[in-house]
Structure 1
Amino acid sequence: MWFRLSMAQKILFVPSMIGSYLRVALVDDDVVRETVIPIFFDMLQCEFHLSPLRNFSKFANETIMQLDCLVDEDCGGEKFKEQLHNIMMDMSRSDTDLVVEGCKFVALVDTLLQHLFEYREVRTNGYCIENGMDRTVELLKFYKLIGQADLYINYVYKLYDLHMLSNNKIEAAFTLLKHAETLSWAECELPTAVLDAHLNRQCGTQRQLKEALYNEAANLFDEKELWEESISILKELTFQYEKNYEYEKLPSLLVGLFVSVYLMQRLAELYHKVSTQGRVACTYFFVGFYGLNFPNYLNNRQFIYRGNECEAIVSFRHRMLSTFPGAQLINTMDECSHLSTHDNKFLQIFPVKPLFESCWEKKCSNRLIRWYFKNNRVQKFEFCKGEIRKGTKWTELEDNEIMRSWVIRRSVSIEEQLPNILRWSQITTFSDPIECSPLMEAVTTMRKNNEEMEEMAHVVLSTPLESVVPLGGKIRGIVQAFVQGGIKNYKIFFSDRCASVLTTEEHELVRQLRTLIKNQVPILEFCLYAHASRDHQVNVQFHESLVASFYEYKANIEKQFGKVASQLPPGCSIHLLQQKGDERRVSSFETSSTPSVMSVFKRGGGATKSGRTTPRKSSGLKSDLKNAFENGIAKRISSSSDRSFEYNSNENSSTSRSALDFSRFEHPLKSISSLSLQMTEDDATLKSLKLGERPTDTQIVPPPLPPRRTKISILASQHFSVLSCQMLPTVSHCYEIQMEICTFNGSQ
């Protein structure tokens, strides 16, 4: 009956009848499909010839919409896809006007049906939620590519729901931003599809919805400690408000851990977190899927997965094997594409290291800021494996484990940066393997050790709660390398025999190795200085053994490579300063943080670490401070930890001692040095001290280096409470204020 209608009559049923005919064509009957499918081409042909623009956009859009709904209702299969392709292709080729556009549309429908069938298989056959996310992303990418905005938004929210169900809040935030990207900042009406699907979040315009999506994404990033992404979003919102002079809307953004008043303060808080709070990095893993028992979209594919924080390789492997039951683990880093033809499932899993642009290393001096660029928004990764080789020119020089050890390095690039809307991304390119000789690996190892030691020393100096034990172990592993040999293993590289067999590039590597070895000496000295700053935590005999070994190590280096200058400022020492008799250790440093005086003095009396009892009156304190500074003695405060403090409290004390209260000072957070100078100049200041409660808003922080003595302006806590209620003009000003109070953990 359809073919008896005229073209003018047929166009009246396009596109309204497409869904009904598709439902019939999706019936599992070859004869029915053979009869109905030609009607689709006739509809396409009818619209093409009658349209002023010579296209069939209405037919195409309706067909895609109906297929998405009907396949999701478990209609159709591979036979329908095959018959639709064959019949539509033959009929398109028979029409000279549609031979190009018609064939393109058939290919597009083929791709769509493939994605829809895979998505349905994951949803109905009990596959893991990760596969569901992966197929959802493929569909939303496809719909974005062909311009189906309504279907694109639909699958964006399906992906968002899956992420929230899995507690992937970072990926959920990135997914929300995908919807926000489709909206404008103008006060335009929302698309009908968004309103019909109730995705407008009670917003009436595109601008309102975009603001709501930005705020929610910023909160999700803040919750998962990806503060840099929150800052980027809030900056965009600030720009839009200032651009349109909507200052009255600024308070609406203030949703965070603290009830703030202005957007600038929230930005300042985020900047403060970035620059002061350490974060745990996620681990990354190479995952390869091989075997015919995997779906086609997984077989012979390799991905980089973003694991959980501090997730070990054992835990990740167990999780992946549970996700893909029946899979066998491959313990190799070699290429395994030959396994893709086996009737089984194989998983290849090993850790990889993210590679970031080296330019950020030069731009960012703060290690906490560099952390973000090292572990986020990365698109290139590296993995390496060891290899034992004999009979090389290196083993001819000296046949030992070092000279036989080679390292094969490879890097991979992925399709999308991580983190993103998924916790994984497919590998697109593999680099050629780079064979690293023992000399190249020696340079790499020395550079890595130097960077790690310097980083650990800065962490110990800047983070009071960080354990000093790893730093001590690192120092000992170098200056007392009795087992592995340390730099003695590299002595052969500086011999005349070795120089005679080196190439030009290898001579340059030897020069770099010599420089790195010499540079390690001042780094070790700096590490010992940092280690000594925790004199209340380290063992005296252990530290002094490290110092003695360091001097011996330094002498050997200088004997072989020449004099190495110290980089410590005058007056700084790598030795522990022990108390003798009734002497009190006094801090000679002024830092941006304030050591707790109550770590030395205990309420009600108690013994100091030296064993003597503390006097009741404070006049002794003034005398000790005055003598110490007049004699130029640089000593540290014995900033005992809570554990040592409790230990001291159990010792017998013959004299009771009350706590000191510095609350009457105009600037209670002044450094010990400036406080002592004030005492020596004005005796009335000392008399103003009163007995009171133990301060709780200070912490023990060792001195940074260099310099040891600096003039620092520290804001008082009462001033900060006033500033928190005032409008701050710029983000940079907020940031400067926050950085001045960066160690004041007890503030607001």
Structure 2
Amino acid sequence: EMRNDLYITVERGEFEKGGKSVARNVEVTMHVVDSSGQILRDFISFGSGEPPASEYHSFVLYHNNGPRWAELLKLPIPVDKFRGAHIRCEFRHCSTKEKGEKKLFGFSFVPLMQENGRTLPDGTHELIVHKCEENANLQDSSRYLKLPFSKGIFLANNSQAVKTTKESFWITSFLCSTKLTQNGDMLDLLKWRTHPDKIAGCLSKLKEIDGSEIVKFLQDTLDTLFGILDENSQKYGSKVFDCLVHIINLLQDSKFHHFKPVMDTYIESHFAGALAYRDLIKVLKWHIDRVTEVELHEHIQEVLKAQEYIFKYIVQSRRLFSIATGGQNEEEFRCCIQELLMSVRFFLSQESKGASALCQLQAVFLSSFPSVYSELLKLFDVREVANLVHDALGSLPTVMQGDESLQAVKLQSIGKTVESHLYTNPDSRYILLPVVLHHLHMHLQEQKDLIMCARILSNIFCLIKKNSSEKSVLEEIDVIVSSLLDILLRTILEITSRPQPSGSAMRLQFQDVTGEFVSCLLSLLRQMTDRHYQQLLDSFNTKEDLRDFLLQIFTVFRILIRPEMFPKDWTVMRLVANNVIITTVLYLSDALRKNFLNENFDYKIWDSYFFLAVIFINQLCLQLEMFTPSKKKKVLEKYGDMRVTMGCEIFSMWQNLGEHKLHFIPALIGPFLEVTLIPQPDLRNVMIPIFHDMMDWEQRRSGNFKQVEAKLIDKLDSLMSEGKGDETYRELFNSILLKKIERETWRESGVSLIATVTRLMERLLDYRDCMKMGEVDGKKIGCTVSLLNFYKTELNKEEMYIRYIHKLYDLHLKAQNFTEAAYTLLLYDELLEWSDRPLREFLNYPMQTEWQRKEYLHLTIIQNFDRGKCWENGIILCRKIAEQYESYYDYRNLSKMRMMEASLYDKIMDQQRLEPEFFRVGFYGKKFPFFLRNKEFVCRGHDYERLEAFQQRMLNEFPHAIAMQHANQPDETIFQAEAQYLQIYAVTPIPENQEVLQRDGIPDNIKSFYKVNHIWRFRYDRPFHKGTKDKENEFKSLWVERTTLILVQSLPGISRWFEVEKREVVSMRLIAMCTVFFTAPPIGYWKSTVEMSPLENAIEVLENKNQQLRTLISQCQTRQMQNINPLTMCLNGVIDAAVNGGVTRYQEAFFVKEYVLNHPEDGEKITRLRELMLEQVKWGKFLAMSPAQLF
């Protein structure tokens, strides 16, 4: 866009009084006058949207001989009117008294252009104020233009006019023009033909001219330079070249960067130097040949920076020459280019240690070298250019110990090459690819510039992907595999083994780089064919090299399938990666079989293979069962179930191992077991038979398979605790292996192992299901007890046993079952001795001696017995640990323990304890967990818990259960029902220590403990009538069926409930007896039931009532009971029985003559009944006469 605007600022003036007594009121009027003396119309612009004017009038400052205006004006004068034009400023005095025109008293002027063509220089100018009182004197401009206009010019050239210099006027000018210049050197250069003797000087001064002046006249300047070159290239060729380099580099400055399109347009449309290419090539080669000359380094660096545009001029010049001559001297031109690039190759091949000037020159050249490719393609075909570039880049030193900045620039140049149009052509790409990969390999080997390497690789593979239909791609993949696969694997291993940076920005960059390398690897493997894999495997000279490669790629694959390798929602990327991995593994499996079996067997590589296969199958992203139906369908359609494919490959590879399978037993049992637990039927059917194979080989080696059993058991617990496995798996595991071992000589022991593992699965599945519940309940505790006992009794796994002891302990603490928690921890305590044997760190226990741990356990157990008000048991442990302190003369701790023991005695005597009730619970039906199914238990109720509350609690724990409303034995249909039935009723504890309870003088606080603790046996009574029922007195025919239950463990214990082990006969004369067995009872389970006669029942009722009276009277006498209401209520029940007639009914039933004659064998019992009745009468009379004796 052409522009020619002159900006004038009217600054200030200094004026005389002019014969007046006061200062003047000065007004300035400005005109633009052309060379003929005519005022130019409408070339003064005031801005602010005002229309242009022909003259300017300043404002007037009252009585001021030194006014300051500072008003800015724009004069948009056309170029053709600029020469010969001048600005005239007229000064007038304005008076408010005088009428008529304002009185002129002087003027100033300034020409816009000098005779040599230079315009008025930018800056402030002090103009001479010439005296003039008549307007007519200004009509002819030629009269005053001969006068000096500026103080500087006047003082130098016209001393006769000194008397006129007392008054001055200041303006500031600024020219904004694309055609006019204020620089004399620029004018001299542009007018070189008028003074050819100054050409050399003008060319030398070009570098001193301000850059804005050069770019303003860019086209004219370039025309001048190439004009000089055409006229006399031999004399001025080098200087013109230097000037051209200066201009090109000037455009690299950000200030003038936007002028590059101007130069591009000039080259394409205005450049006419058809012979310039010869001199440009010649001078450029001269500079490159002298890169070793230190004194020229700075200048050569400038030349190399400008090489892009130098080549543009060379190419355009040659094209113009070819058009003009019909392509003459083509061979000569090609030779020149070849010689030039030969110099380039020599220059690039120079090595220099560390940072040096030579390295800087090489870096400068490489940074802009890729921009030359597109220019060369205008004259040469792609193969020729590719070969030229290949030779140039190939000449670079292979040593990586040089200047790091040079290495970075070299890699950037490689990157630009890959991004260039030249590389997109298959023919040229095949030529360039080896040298590109060579430099990438060097950088990756040194782990330098990984970000740039990743970007280049990504571009390479993106281009291959776009052109995947081309035949040349197969050859390119060959080159990449042979050159880069190994180092790419090593790079991924290296960067993934580094700790991630702490900063978020650096961490994101690290992840991006890792992701790019991974994507490149996957892209490469995905495009490899059978031929590529075969060539890759054949390329290894030794088995050791192949072994290292396989170990490396298996390790990388394990890294790629880490959960954190891709973002969580990158499902498609994960599936693609897994598809590539399994495809590659299938190819490599064959190499593994062929090269590393029999005498060449290598455990490490086979182990790495199996480890990869297992974690591949276990990936969360491949568990199709977790997908929505539509998503699962799409995955299966595109990829199939890759888990099954890999499982079949594992089975196939395992079968090839032969006797080498023993190397992986028992190490692979756990991983393979984890695979079989995946809920995929086909995968399970393929993998489970491997366990039979392991059992067989272990049997051959050791004569047993205890290792297999131990590993299976250990891993099952941890895996099922993680939620793996189900009932279907248990059944499938059992059926497949039982079928497999049918014809084995070791079938019997195999069946035993399978049965043991299957039973463990049952318990683990029950345990897992129970643990899913929110609150701690009896089901959780019972399941844990069942599993704990299984580990101890059937598996003898002490460590697992201890682990579940502590899990049960934690459950009890959460449920505030402190007594049961103490009993549970006591199980672990009993496994330890009072010794100094060191124990390893385990669970929450630190590394310590066995004595220290047992001491800690004792104290914890005592604390829990205290909280559970089971102080008697705490006292026993206090005594035991006190003995240890005493044996070590640790009197300080002995004293503390004796005081603790004493405090427990005090609590027994001072604090009230509630006696819990006990309930028998039967769990019938197949829907109950295994450890409850068709079994009966006795449960210790909570404080204040009665039958109704307990029954409701059980129904809450088993919301689908049906409560049975009778106490009769269930039949077969109930046992086999696909439902849950609960049968609940209260039972009475039968204390073991009868001596304490029957001895007089022992406080009831002490007796109450033995009534409900350490209880193994319980009874429950079912009343019924035998024979004819007497309506007047039901006691005559009232019989009681009494059943005694014996538990597997006493209550309280490690649980609030224990299973009923058997039922046994009561030690008394039997009136009638019938033995009843459960339908399909558990092994070793038996029961017996006795019937009590009405007389025996009456004796027991009175014994219990009298015992109750004795206890209440004793409590009142020892002031344990402050309120006698319970005693009063009990006596009222004896004296005046409101229900069933009381003891009177017994008299009527058993003391009559008829009963005594018919039952002579009951004489002793009748006597006993009479004694008990008399005892009641005695207590009633005693209390009626002496109630005060109670206290």
Q: TM-score range by the shorter chain?
A: 0.5 to 0.7
1:580-599 to 2 correspondence within 5 Å? none
1:602-613 to 2 correspondence within 5 Å? none
From 833, 856, 869, give the equivalent of 1:225: 869
Whether contact under 8 Å (1:461, 1:530) holds in the other structure is no
- The aligned counterpart of 1:236 is 880
Tell me if 1:107 matches 2:741.
no
Secondary structure class of the residue paired with 2:917: strand
From 26, 32, 44, give the equivalent of 2:677: 26
- The aligned counterpart of 2:1033 is 400
From 983, 986, 1007, give the equivalent of 1:370: 1007
Whether contact under 8 Å (1:354, 1:375) holds in the other structure is yes
- The aligned counterpart of 1:206 is 850
Cα distance 1:127–1:92, how it changes in 2: closer, same or farther (>3 A)?
farther
Cα distance 1:196–1:402, how it changes in 2: closer, same or farther (>3 A)?
closer
Shift of 1:78: 3.2
Whether contact under 8 Å (1:457, 1:526) holds in the other structure is no
Whether contact under 8 Å (1:353, 1:383) holds in the other structure is yes
Shift of 1:281: 0.8
Q: Counterpart of 1:26 in structure 2: which amino acid?
A: L
From 1036, 1047, 1056, give the equivalent of 1:423: 1056
From 1061, 1085, 1093, give the equivalent of 1:437: 1093
Whether contact under 8 Å (2:966, 2:983) holds in the other structure is yes
RMSD across aligned positions (CA): 2.7
Looking at structure 1, the residues matched to 775 and 870 of structure 2 have their Cα atoms a distance apart, in angstroms, of 30
Shift of 1:168: 1.0
Looking at structure 2, the residues matched to 499 and 263 of structure 1 have their Cα atoms a distance apart, in angstroms, of 62
- The aligned counterpart of 1:346 is 981
Shift of 1:379: 1.2
Cα distance 1:459–1:362, how it changes in 2: closer, same or farther (>3 A)?
closer
Q: Counterpart of 1:143 in structure 2: which amino acid?
A: Y
Shift of 1:430: 3.2
The structure whose residues are more often helix, as a share, is: 2
Looking at structure 2, the residues matched to 498 and 368 of structure 1 have their Cα atoms a distance apart, in angstroms, of 42
Shift of 1:481: 4.8
- The aligned counterpart of 1:3 is 655
Cα distance 1:205–1:92, how it changes in 2: closer, same or farther (>3 A)?
farther
- The aligned counterpart of 2:1130 is 474
Tell me if 1:247 matches 2:880.
no
Whether contact under 8 Å (1:471, 1:527) holds in the other structure is no
Tell me if 1:118 matches 2:766.
yes
- The aligned counterpart of 1:512 is 1168
From 915, 939, 944, give the equivalent of 1:305: 939
Looking at structure 2, the residues matched to 266 and 526 of structure 1 have their Cα atoms a distance apart, in angstroms, of 43
Whether contact under 8 Å (1:184, 1:207) holds in the other structure is yes
**What is the TM-score when the length of structure 1 is the normalising length?**
0.64
Q: Counterpart of 2:1174 in structure 1: which amino acid?
A: K
Whether contact under 8 Å (2:834, 2:851) holds in the other structure is yes
- The aligned counterpart of 2:255 is none
Whether contact under 8 Å (2:776, 2:814) holds in the other structure is no
- The aligned counterpart of 1:381 is 1018
Shift of 1:107: 1.6
Q: Counterpart of 2:870 in structure 1: which amino acid?
A: L
Cα distance 1:27–1:343, how it changes in 2: closer, same or farther (>3 A)?
closer
Looking at structure 2, the residues matched to 246 and 295 of structure 1 have their Cα atoms a distance apart, in angstroms, of 52
Q: Percent identity?
A: 30
Whether contact under 8 Å (1:128, 1:323) holds in the other structure is no
Looking at structure 1, the residues matched to 761 and 1137 of structure 2 have their Cα atoms a distance apart, in angstroms, of 64
Secondary structure class of the residue paired with 1:282: coil
Tell me if 1:144 matches 2:792.
yes
1:480-495 to 2 correspondence within 5 Å? 480-481=1136-1137, 485-492=1141-1148, 493-495=1150-1152
Whether contact under 8 Å (2:763, 2:931) holds in the other structure is no
- The aligned counterpart of 1:595 is none
Moved over 6 A (4+): 125-128
1:22-171 to 2 correspondence within 5 Å? 22-51=673-702, 54-96=703-745, 98-124=746-772, 129-145=777-793, 146-171=795-820
Looking at structure 2, the residues matched to 114 and 35 of structure 1 have their Cα atoms a distance apart, in angstroms, of 23
Whether contact under 8 Å (2:781, 2:808) holds in the other structure is yes
Cα distance 1:104–1:476, how it changes in 2: closer, same or farther (>3 A)?
closer
Structure number with greater CO (CA < 8 Å, separation at least 6) is 1
Q: Counterpart of 2:875 in structure 1: which amino acid?
A: I
Looking at structure 1, the residues matched to 986 and 801 of structure 2 have their Cα atoms a distance apart, in angstroms, of 34
**What is the TM-score when the length of structure 2 is the normalising length?**
0.41
Q: Deviations over 1:496-516 (max 9, x none)?
A: 222111141x12210111222
Whether contact under 8 Å (1:453, 1:524) holds in the other structure is no
Looking at structure 1, the residues matched to 860 and 963 of structure 2 have their Cα atoms a distance apart, in angstroms, of 40
Secondary structure class of the residue paired with 2:839: coil
Looking at structure 2, the residues matched to 428 and 481 of structure 1 have their Cα atoms a distance apart, in angstroms, of 39
1:257-656 to 2 correspondence within 5 Å? 261-337=895-971, 338-357=973-992, 358-362=994-998, 365-366=1001-1002, 367-389=1004-1026, 391=1028, 395=1030, 399-431=1032-1064, 432-463=1088-1119, 465-481=1121-1137, 485-492=1141-1148, 493-504=1150-1161, 506-525=1162-1181, 527-528=1183-1184, 531-533=1187-1189
Shift of 1:443: 1.2
Cα distance 1:423–1:364, how it changes in 2: closer, same or farther (>3 A)?
farther
Q: Deviations over 1:567-596 (max 9, x none)?
A: xxxxxxxxxxxxxxxxxxxxxxxxxxxxxx
Q: Counterpart of 1:210 in structure 2: which amino acid?
A: K
Looking at structure 1, the residues matched to 1055 and 742 of structure 2 have their Cα atoms a distance apart, in angstroms, of 40
Count, aligned residues: 511
Q: Deviations over 1:550-578 (max 9, x none)?
A: xxxxxxxxxxxxxxxxxxxxxxxxxxxxx
Shift of 1:290: 2.9
Shift of 1:484: 5.3
Q: Counterpart of 2:1062 in structure 1: which amino acid?
A: T
Looking at structure 1, the residues matched to 734 and 978 of structure 2 have their Cα atoms a distance apart, in angstroms, of 29
Looking at structure 2, the residues matched to 182 and 416 of structure 1 have their Cα atoms a distance apart, in angstroms, of 18
Cα distance 1:360–1:533, how it changes in 2: closer, same or farther (>3 A)?
closer
Cα distance 1:21–1:326, how it changes in 2: closer, same or farther (>3 A)?
closer
Cα distance 1:491–1:18, how it changes in 2: closer, same or farther (>3 A)?
closer
Looking at structure 2, the residues matched to 302 and 204 of structure 1 have their Cα atoms a distance apart, in angstroms, of 42
Secondary structure class of the residue paired with 2:945: coil
From 653, 656, 664, give the equivalent of 1:13: 664
Shift of 1:380: 0.9
Shift of 1:529: 7.0
Whether contact under 8 Å (2:925, 2:975) holds in the other structure is yes
- The aligned counterpart of 2:833 is 184
Cα distance 1:227–1:388, how it changes in 2: closer, same or farther (>3 A)?
same
Looking at structure 1, the residues matched to 1139 and 959 of structure 2 have their Cα atoms a distance apart, in angstroms, of 43
Whether contact under 8 Å (2:779, 2:957) holds in the other structure is no
Looking at structure 1, the residues matched to 698 and 1015 of structure 2 have their Cα atoms a distance apart, in angstroms, of 48
Looking at structure 1, the residues matched to 848 and 769 of structure 2 have their Cα atoms a distance apart, in angstroms, of 37
Q: Deviations over 1:427-452 (max 9, x none)?
A: 22234333333322221122122111
Q: Deviations over 1:110-160 (max 9, x none)?
A: 111111122222234779732222221111111112121221122111111
Q: Counterpart of 2:1018 in structure 1: which amino acid?
A: F
Looking at structure 2, the residues matched to 342 and 470 of structure 1 have their Cα atoms a distance apart, in angstroms, of 47
Cα distance 1:36–1:329, how it changes in 2: closer, same or farther (>3 A)?
closer
